[in-house]
Chains A and B, each alone.
Chain A
Amino acid sequence: MNLQTALPKQREPKVTATASSGDRWSGFNRRQLLQAATCGIGSLALADLLRSAQARETGILDPRASHHRPRAKHLIFCHMRGGPSHMETFERKPELDRRAGQKGRSKSRTLTGSHWKWRQRGESGLWVSELLPHLARQADELCVLSGMHTDISNHTPAMLHLHTGNFVFSRPSLGAWILYGLGTENQNLPGFISLCPPSINGGAANYGNAFLPAKYQGTAIGNVKINVRDAEIGNIRNPRLDLPQQRRQLDLIQALNRQAAQLDPQDAHIEGVIKSYELAFRMQSDLPKVMDLTDETQATLDSYGIGEGKRSDSFGRQCLLARRMIEAGVRHVEVCDEFWDQHNKLKSGHEARAAATDQPMGALIADLKQRGLLDETLVLWGGEFGRTPDTNKANLDGRDHNAKGYTMFLAGGGVRGGFQHGATDELGYEAVQGRVHLHDLHATLLHILGLDHTRLTYQYAGREFRLTDVHGRVVNEVLS
């Protein structure tokens, strides 16, 4: 019998929640809840009991059943901060090239054509600019969303919007929602990792849990200012004891805990702590192991563009780490690039960003595919918005922020490869076809991971919150 199905509708992500060991910390477990329900007291706010049980639950992030059959189990988000230009990457605009040099939508602005040549790539014939030769080779895997649009064109709120669905209030991040909905597969590693995130632009809120329990927060490793190779993970090593010594100490801790548990067998808190120490002990060795690239072949490192002095070294390492983490069962990894924000000197700026990210991205997709991981992993690429087709710079080498139309792409688990969905107008100002709002993107990502964005809710302050608030539509057109 599965009492969990008796949970209020909105609580369904908890379908196989942590109740395995019961949660006597908050005073009851499934069996007791059932008894509560049958023996009278229960009806007195059974829903409340469940609610507080879930809010206060102490269990680990066990994997949980999804709402429907998932198309992918993991998500890698390659965050191109600052807003890459769609007119330089995946949306070819011959009309813009033709009218380059003419006035833009306002008198002070001039249209500027694409700075790169375009070719149709792969069997699908997807147009990809020559800025991204490595990604172009994966064209048949890419599901390009060219009708993206969002609400605001300042970096920070747009980034918060991208990560949390809201840029005014503090809300849980996409990754936190995913962990809340699905748990994670490898308890020895964090379930949601953000590699090299920036401390500005919303900082920790971009991987935060807001009002969700703290266990759903993302773990940040490194920051955008350093090479991920030099990132340190807090409290992962004991500065005083070697591993056998520490094990002996842990044995003492666990013996004391078990003694206490014997005195009070009702206390699930102790059970939880005992389990958590064993996980932590394993995490100490497993997380550095995942982070250590020495067991990768030179060919692999080369393919990701990793190497001393190479421009793609740091991002290449991030991408390779993302693959290793996904392989090890981490639910969601975000990797992060520097700023694609070229109001000026767009040509050299975008070139530099591409030099840092194109090869690693291409390698990531190829590598996932070759390892059979691409089917179960969804890759998302893009920034918080796009760029304008026009500029106010006399040399026409620059583009400004554009929230009305831009491009992101998906690849892997459950999406149509070699496919372009949506488009901006002939010049690239705003999305006119196959429009996908950020909320729609969120709904779609959750859908692919097996979660229904309207049912993935959390009760806080008297109402149910969700990532997409009251918005969002699953973009069925992009599903394979």
Chain B
Amino acid sequence: MLFGDGRGYNRPLQTPLLFPAFPSVVLTLTMRRILLLALVILFWPIATGRAQEERRSSSKTTADIEFFEKRIRPVLVAHCYECHAAGADDVGGNLRLDSRTGWLEGGDLGPAVVPEKPGQSLLIDALEYGSLEMPPDRKLPEHIIADFRRWVASGAPDPRTQPRPDPKPDSATAARPLWSLQPLASVTPPELENPNWIDADWPLSPIDRFVIARLEDAGLESNPVADSVALLRRLSVDLVGLPPRPAHLERMLRDDSLESWERIVDELIDSPQFGERWARHWLDVARYAESAGSSRDVLMTTAWKYRNYVIDAYNADMSYAQFVTEQIAGDLMPADSPEERRRQQIATGFLAVGQKSLNGGNLPLDIADDQIDVLGKSVLGLTVSCARCHDHKFDPIPTQDYYSLAGIFLSTETRYGGGTKRPKNTSDMAKEYLPLADDQLLIEFAKLDKRISQAQQKRGKSAKQVQALKRKLPKDWQQRSAELNEKSDATEETVLSADDQSLLEQVSKFREASASMQQLDSELVELREKQSELGSLEFAVGVRESKTASDAKVRVRGEKNQLGEIAPRGFLTCIPIDQQQVLEAAQLPPIDDRQSGRLQLAAWLTATDNPLTARVAVNRIWFHLTGRGLVPTIDNFGVNGTAPTHPELLDYLAQRFMQNDWSTKRLVRDIVLSRTYRLSTDHNEHSFQIDPAGQLYWRGQRRRLEAEVLHDALLMAGDELLLRRPDFGSTVAQIGEGEVGRNLNTKPLDEVFPYRGVYLPIIRGLLPESLRLFDYPDPSNPRSQRDATNVPAQSLFFMNSPLVIRQAEQAASALFAEGGDRQERIQAAFRRILSRPAAKPEVQRIAAFLDHSLEPTAQPNHHRLQAAWTSVCQSLFATAEFRVQP
């Protein structure tokens, strides 16, 4: 129970390398302590001697390995790996040089290196162009060959004890069980006895105990806790995506006790801005947008309802299991009220907001592919869609499994608008979008629709008939028939000629037909009135069941016409849980031809023994709070992802998450109240040398503000930001139906948008500048982790954009309105824009700048003052600091 690898984990490959001198790493802390104590007592003198010796030899090893890393490895990579490493098309002479084992075992010609014996090493012989000539294109320079000789002579130290994974199936890697598919381990936080860690004012959380245990193992020094002003900015940005409220800043400056901190945390978590911030993280991975993108960028004017759904779900702290279920199968869930039904239908927008190729491509299969892709990356952290054309190259996902899932989505009807003809009325909308209404109303509506279309058909026929009859009549028929009628009325026994007789017959036929056409017209009017009396239907994007449900056939090599075997609908076979049991537990029938299987899919995803769902979810939350995932590849828990740095912590958090009813808010709270979250970002040379990337959380990670946070911070400092939700839904709804580049009414896009960045319109082909310039992710590809690039276009935005200048002007006006002298105003400007007081040298700089700007007038007019302060405010916006979270 206490052995780290007793949980069935495949430990990260590199662990033994990390601590070559400490095999005890696989023991838990307690176990290790007991052992250590016993050893210390028994072998005290020997142990100290051994330790010194180990220290010496390890420092020697370090120097050797450094030599290898600097002089040998790069040469191997540059000149040898092409043919002698994993991934080479054809490994030359079966010799691999990408691991110690590789050259030690050697290839067809035997070992390539004999440690300490350059003269007997084939590798040296080949480099010297002896019996072999390597690299084949040209001999390497003499000094490099000398390095190799020296390296072999010194025993050929090589830390690459594990071969690089061979990126081909059937390799050793594929055979090894994937860590992320193993069941969650039940773990308890390690006990720490070192008094240095214990702080009476701020008890360590279980999270900290996991983290500190790793720090101790690695010999890292943990940073102190950051100063409270910086911390408040970090916390505020993390929880609500906004710079701190002035009231919080004041409170923090007065009282930075645990209680005060906790109160602020709770206030932020309970504020409606929490959902706006956390929804955005999910919307990234849900590849949310409001247009089809790609070939015909048709707007989805109701997609924003899904965005609001996500925000509401985070604010309500909806259980993540329910959140996932609603997004996949909300339309199939029982609902207690029409409101709940509406919400659950909107939730399925998750499956509908992806990019569509409306002109060309293979639409139904591509939509299913997009759905499998987003589901895989967001919920499971697997790149399932790689298996569309062939078995997954790295992960244990056969094509058969892909089409098992595809069958579910192909039995589902996706409604996303996307009509290239702009829908004009309710009936048109009903053809493109998902109607949101209770079934009875929909049935009534559909019944009337059917009757209307029948009546329309009849009227069409009747109109043709009338036309045809009219054509047969002579031009003067009205006059003649009137005369004839008169005649026959006047004299009772008039004998009409055959000609006249037939004319009258024709006329009467024509009149009858006309009357019935009029009858149909009024019927149509009546039906339309009835339909409008039902009320207007509301629409969204989302899914519903297809008329028929069936299994899909495998498409061989992904070709739509190359049909292979039938893949019965189901789930991924690589996840070792009993699908039957999952369905029984959820009281769901097996998938059959009456249902797509989405409910069953959701039950399988959110089963507590599904090892991926909770792990992926907590890792993502951890990542958004610390800047680094426990599994650094946030959306990829597959073979090509990276194993967790803290597997026990990951499983602890996942278990706790599920125990707390999958509550995001409670997990966020747990993490931000830990000491680990509060560490300063300061540099520590000792720890930096060991762990420069801060993978083991010895320090906080400075992070770039996301585009939306930057947008909001800018508008907030300019007093322009409205914290309420736009009541028009989205600018896209204001624009209305249409397509980018084809007479789209883009005027609403140019208007001032005073709402939070999360509400900005996301038209795939027309992203707002403030998002596009600042690493907003391509909304067609699901992704949790944003880039942080630095390009002149961003600088130009801060220097010249009308948006920034307007905020600077407004901020300057507000500073004047607040009153105070110049010193006070400078301080106020720093608090307003950078959420901190100004330091003395900064005050001096600003003052000097103001003096210079206002010269030579001693009594500058208001206009010049305003201009100078606008420049000051804009300069603060433009600082590097404004764009980061400390």
Contacts and interface: CB of A to CB of B under 8 A. Distances in A.
Interface of A: 1-3, 5-7, 9, 25-28, 32-41, 43-45, 48-49, 52, 55-61, 152, 154-158, 160, 167-170, 187-188, 190, 198-205, 208-211, 213-215, 217, 219, 234-241, 245-246, 248-250, 252-253, 255-257, 259-261, 264-267, 269-270, 272-274, 276-277, 279-281, 283-284, 460-463
Nearest to B356: A168
B880 A248 contact: no
B791 A276 contact: yes
Contacts of B704: 25, 269
Interface of B: 12, 14-15, 17-20, 62, 65-66, 69-71, 73-75, 77-78, 81-82, 85, 87, 159-160, 218, 293-297, 355, 357, 359-362, 366, 377, 383, 386, 393-395, 632-633, 635-636, 638, 640-643, 645, 681, 683, 688-696, 701-702, 704, 739-742, 764-767, 769, 772-778, 780-783, 785, 787-797, 799-802, 805, 841-842, 845-846, 849, 852-853, 867, 870-872, 874-876, 878-881, 883-884
A359 to B, nearest CB: 28
Contacts of B789: 57-58, 213-215
Most chain A CB inside 10 Å of its own CB: which residue of B19, B393, B774, B791: B791
B799 A235 contact: yes
Given A34-B70, A264-B683, A462 B636 contact: yes
A5 B74 contact: yes
A438 to B, nearest CB: 14
Contacts of B688: 32
Given A32-B692, A40-B690, 9 more contacts: A5-B78, A27-B701, A48-B642, A55-B785, A157-B361, A160-B294, A213-B775, A234-B769, A256-B876
* CB-CB nearest 3 A-B residue pairs: A200-B741, A157-B360, A280-B795
B383 A38 contact: no
A44 B692 contact: no
Nearest to B76: A6
A434 to B, nearest CB: 26
A160 B783 contact: no
Nearest to B691: A41
A245 B66 CA distance: 51
B690 A235 contact: no
A408 to B, nearest CB: 20
Contacts of B870: 240
A38 B69 contact: yes
A2 B880 contact: no
A209 B683 contact: no
A58 to B, nearest CB: 4
A363 B830 CA distance: 56
Contacts of B852: 248
Contacts of B795: 273, 276-277, 279-281
B790 A59 contact: yes
B791 A215 contact: yes
A173 to B, nearest CB: 12
A211 to B, nearest CB: 5
A58 B875 contact: no
A152 B360 CA distance: 7
B74 A6 contact: yes
Given A208-B778, A260-B881, A41 B218 contact: yes
A151 to B, nearest CB: 9
B148 to A, nearest CB: 14
Nearest to B839: A259
A269 B842 contact: no
A334 B718 CA distance: 39
Contact of A202 (B218, B294, B742, B845): B294
Contacts of B71: 1
29 contacts: A34-B70, A35-B692, A36-B691, A36-B693, A38-B62, A38-B69, A41-B18, A43-B14, A43-B159, A45-B12, A55-B787, A57-B789, A58-B790, A157-B295, A160-B294, A169-B780, A199-B765, A204-B767, A214-B776, A214-B787, A235-B800, A236-B796, A237-B800, A267-B702, A272-B790, A274-B880, A284-B799, A462-B386, A463-B640
B636 A9 contact: no
Given A156-B295, A205-B765, A210 B780 contact: yes
B849 A248 contact: yes
Contacts of A252: 845-846, 849, 871-872, 875
A257 B880 contact: yes
A69 B683 CA distance: 42
B361 A167 contact: yes
A182 to B, nearest CB: 16
A40 B791 contact: no
Nearest to A275: B790
B46 to A, nearest CB: 25
A453 B769 CA distance: 32
Nearest to B871: A249
Contacts of B875: 249, 252-253, 256
B633 A44 contact: no
Contacts of A170: 293-294, 355, 764, 778, 780-781
Contacts of B366: 168
A6 B14 contact: no
A330 to B, nearest CB: 13
B29 to A, nearest CB: 19
A217 B775 CA distance: 11
A245 to B, nearest CB: 8
Nearest to B778: A210
A366 to B, nearest CB: 33
Contacts of B692: 27-28, 32-33, 35-36, 41
Contacts of A213: 775, 787, 789
Contacts of A219: 793
Contacts of A57: 789
B58 to A, nearest CB: 10
A155 to B, nearest CB: 8
A200 B740 contact: yes
A269 to B, nearest CB: 6
Nearest to A52: B632
A45 B645 CA distance: 10
Contacts of A238: 799-800, 805
A273 B790 contact: yes
A1 B74 contact: yes
A205 B296 CA distance: 11
B788 A25 contact: yes
B689 A39 contact: yes
A198 B871 contact: no
A211 B778 contact: yes
Contacts of A168: 294, 357, 360-362, 366
Contacts of A259: 841-842, 845
A213 to B, nearest CB: 4
A5 B852 CA distance: 51
Contacts of A201: 295, 741
Contact of B775 (A37, A187, A214): A214
Contacts of B739: 200
B313 to A, nearest CB: 25
Nearest to A262: B841
A256 B849 CA distance: 12
B783 A37 contact: no
Nearest to B70: A1
Contacts of B764: 170, 205
A58 B791 CA distance: 8
Contacts of A202: 294-295, 765
A167 B867 CA distance: 50
A199 B845 contact: no
Greatest chain B CB density within 10 A among A35, A52, A168, A203 is at A168
Contact of A461 (B383, B645, B792, B797): B383
A38 B74 CA distance: 13
Contact of B77 (A6, A240, A272, A276): A6
Contacts of A460: 781
B883 to A, nearest CB: 7
A205 B800 contact: no
Contact of A269 (B73, B395, B683, B880): B880
